[in-house]
Amino acid sequence: MEALIAVLPGDGIGPEVCTEGLRVLDAVADQYGHQFKCSEQLIGGAAIDATGNPFPADTRAACAESDAVILGAVGGPKWSDPNAPVRPEQGILALRANLEVFANIRPVKIIDALTDASPIKADRLGGVDIIVIRELTGGIYFGKKTRDENLASDLCIYERHEVERIIRVAARLAGERRGKLCSIDKANVLETSRFWRDVTVRTMEAEFPDIEIEHMLVDAAAMHLINRPATFDVMVTENMFGDILTDEASMLAGSMGMLPSASLGETRRGLYEPIHGSAPDIAGQGLANPCGMIASIAMMLRLSFGLDDESAAIEAAIDSTIEDGIRTADIAGVDHASTGTVGMTDAIIQRLH
């Protein structure tokens, strides 16, 4: 097959992990006879420095023309002033809105060989296999914002269709797995959460009567993710809660550097990125873990291009590399020597079959 991919390396370690991810993509293309044409574009702080805009017109046009988008990371100390009128994170919000991707899919599956890298006790990690679905284009991040010397406000709004469509995504995924869906809200306090719960109940009863649905307050969910994570199957929640819970869930896997994500809309064109940030403290040192980016590319091959065998081959190569004791510093622990970003990718490519 042939496909056009927009690549947005961004800031910090973003360019490093994008480079390694594309090396794996090239290896897959060679083995399976595909052609992936990549168009590299600016986003985030790098785009601000070059154009004054965190999501320039050229980037917008390239993403609109692409079959999928790969994103590295944005941000860093240079652009860290939260009061600045133009910030790198605005580029990501504009990108998501431009692509009309509303469902962020973050799998959290534990590789047995990595239980020693997690800060969570190993006996809590057995059987952990979770998918977190985060609503991505609504809620407090996109609501009207006001501020003066004495007051600030962020408006949280959800419309019925926004809740219904994200619940449908989550319920369908649950139906392909263990048939369990946990909807996370704060319905004891927030009107938007009571609305979310009411719409969820009606949608599930009308369209997915065979799926087991549980409603859980976000503070309880945060606790149970640590105490009994294996009891969750598919979790679905609104934008801000999902942002926080998925970062927490990444610690189950030992490092944020391990986990991928996909953001999807109504079409097969998706946005694929590791969940980690720009990690400016290690940028340019060859220390970044490329696994999250490489696994994100595996998700791209499966979800946007329908290449299940190629996706599975990448995931198996990551697993076997870890099982063979090859680790970057963030997951090496005390029992393993560590390799760098390039060395980790080399080992994964060697195990592609």
Cβ atoms < 10 Å from Cβ of 292: 25
Burial status of residue 334 (CB atoms within 10 A of its CB: 0-12, 13-18, 19 or more):
exposed
Q: What is the pLDDT of residue 292?
A: 96
Q: How many residues does the chain have?
A: 353
Position 102: which residue type? Answer: F
What are 14's two structure tokens?
């973003």
The whole-number pLDDT of residue 33 equals 97
Residue pLDDT tens, the chain, 353 long? 999 999 999 999 999 999 999 999 999 999 999 999 999 999 999 999 999 999 999 999 999 999 999 999 999 999 989 889 999 999 999 999 999 999 999 999 988 888 888 888 888 998 999 999 999 999 999 999 999 999 999 999 999 999 999 999 999 999 999 999 999 999 999 999 999 999 999 999 999 999 999 999 999 999 999 999 999 999 999 999 999 999 899 889 888 899 999 999 999 999 999 999 999 999 999 999 999 999 999 999 999 999 999 999 999 999 999 999 999 999 987 677 799 999 999 999 999 98
Q: pLDDT at position 119, please? A: 87
Q: Which CATH architecture has domain 119-253?
A: 3-Layer(aba) Sandwich (3.40)
Strand-pair category, 129-135 with 103-109: antiparallel
Which residues are the active-site residues? 141, 186, 219, 243, 247
Taking alpha carbons only, the member of 228, 223, 219 closest to residue 184 is 219
Whole-number pLDDT of residue 83: 87
Pairing of strands 152-154, 145-147: antiparallel
Q: Which CATH homologous superfamily contains domain 1-102+257-353?
A: Isopropylmalate Dehydrogenase (3.40.718.10)
Q: Where in the chain is the domain with CATH 3.40.718.10?
A: 1-102+257-353, 119-253
Residue 202 pLDDT: 96
pLDDT of residue 48: 98
DSSP string for residues in 313-342? HHHHHHHHHHHTT-EEHHHHTTTS-EE-HH
Q: How far apart are CA 248 and CA 238, in angstroms?
A: 15
Partners of residue 106 on adjacent β-strands: 132
At 154 the pLDDT is 97
For helices 14-32 and 341-350, angle between their N-to-C axes, nearest 10 degrees: 10
DSSP-derived pairing of the beta strands 2-10 and 68-73: parallel
Q: What is the pLDDT of residue 254?
A: 83
In 3D space, the residue among 317, 299, 316, 296 whose CA is nearest the CA of residue 308 turns out to be 299
Note the pLDDT of residue 82.
86
pLDDT of residue 118: 86
State the alpha helices, DSSP H only, in the chain. Answer: 14-32, 44-51, 57-65, 88-99, 160-175, 191-207, 218-227, 239-250, 291-303, 308-323, 329-332, 341-350
Model pLDDT, residue 122: 87
Q: Which residue has the tokens 């006879």?
A: 33
